[in-house]
Structure 1
């Protein structure tokens, strides 16, 4: 996956006009290789963790697999009709209430109005926000927003291919334990699962295999304990 990016982009209308009138002052776009020759196969029923430092390309990889981003080169073979990508907070409007955001966010991930009507009480109950649903989300703490987003995202029927992008680090310790139990239930339904997480403890406990991506390259692919130990050792160097 290759992106085009421009350094020192204009920050004001004046700067933009000056660069427009004087081509010599225009900033040249540069190419950034976010993922470099990544190749692997995931078989049905596998639970695969993806680890790596910030900016290594993990979330970009998930977006390519799920079809959100087209790769710059190469091919992804996946039945995207069976894929559900869960990422927290997409589509939240801070000026709307919690109740309104349930319907907005739910619609964005494929719920119908009728389906949300049926699920609404259980979503609110799981998020533990029954006293706050008529408050604007801008008044929520970051933990409250994360809890609501997680509850919405995981309330759908479990898909055949489940992709989780950092959804196991929300709320306080008790809510994290509850959210991990919900994810375990989804995993045990027989889905093929991909999990991005910075917690090697979570990866070790949930996954049957781990991919380590660093600076856009696949560094390791194998047993969770072996790969996580190598990743942790790198962090101590």
Structure 2
């Protein structure tokens, strides 16, 4: 079992719709895990699966069904209300273009900050700095504050930094939809290099083409539940059968 990189067992997480709401005595003194609470809903419930080293997993489902929440649980950004999430080794999360970046710091400063937050030694950041900037195509903007970059530039910088991390698992959430076609192809080529190195990919995407390009296995999430875990073609076929109007 040493080659299992992600183990998710019986996971559930709930959110409040608002900050208001009255509770009954039954709510207050009932079981903490199972009692109902006004204004709360389960974003995910009873989710279990394993991911092995080198697998490329695509997460499929409609908006608002829990896909990104699942990615954040794996990344450790969120903690489950029930069940367990265990990750063997670190993760390189590309789940928000501004995640970890400080708007008032320059591009140069942000590269050092974000790479450092993920455990890259200062000397290694310095060694890889030029290649990060070249990949992001931001040579003329190294002293520009992050807040002044376009959304495409921010996405390029985020991917350039995260793809340089040596973590065994890469988490990607639709952020590659930002940016021009040429840069997306460069990102895709880098992902293929990382997979060839034996890395694990956990990808949330609405693009059937991207999912089929990278992934051999899929997880279909609907209504906060894991509907199907199987070959990516089977998962996409089931999803399109359930929601034939959804176009990829």
Aligned twin of 1:226: 234
- Residue 119 of structure 1 is matched in structure 2 by 128
Counterpart for residue 9 of structure 2: none
Q: Secondary structure in 2 aligned to 1:149?
A: helix
Aligned to 2:111: 102
More strand by share: 2
Residue 175 of structure 1 and its aligned partner are, at CA, apart by: 0.1
**Residues 235, 146 of structure 1: alpha-carbon distance in 2 compared, 3 angstrom cutoff:** farther
TM-score, normalising length from structure 1? 0.82
Q: Distance in 2 between matches of 1:112 and 1:154?
A: 16
Please name the residue that 1:62 is paired with.
Answer: 71
Gaps of 5+ in 1: 10-27
Match in the other structure for 2:61 = 52
Helix, strand or coil at the partner of 2:228: strand
Q: What is aligned with 1:89?
A: 98
Aligned-pair distance for 1:178? Answer: 0.3
Which position in structure 1 is the counterpart of 2:16? Answer: 5
Q: Where do residues 177-196 of structure 1 align in structure 2 (5 Å cutoff)?
A: 177-196=185-204
Q: Distance in 2 between matches of 1:43 and 1:138?
A: 38
8 Å contact 1:211–1:220 — kept in the other structure?
A: yes
Structure 2, unaligned runs of 5 or more: 1-11, 21-36
The 2-side partners of 1:43 and 1:92 are apart by 30
Question: CA 1:91–1:192 in structure 2 vs 1: closer, same or farther (change >3 Å)?
Answer: closer
Deviation per CA, 1:134-192: give whole Å up to 9, x if none: 112222111011101110110122x3333323343231000000000000000111123
Instruction: Say whether residues 1:161 and 2:169 are aligned partners.
Output: yes
Provide the rounded CA distance (Å) in 2 between the counterparts of 1:36 and 1:4: 12
Per the TM alignment, residue 36 of structure 1 is displaced from its structure 2 partner at its CA by: 1.6
CA distance in 2, matches of 1:141, 1:192: 30
> Using the alignment, how far apart are the partners of 1:77 and 1:135 within structure 2?
38
CA contact (8 A) 2:92 2:165 kept: no
Instruction: State the partner residue of 2:26.
Output: none
**TM-score, length-normalised on structure 2?**
0.79
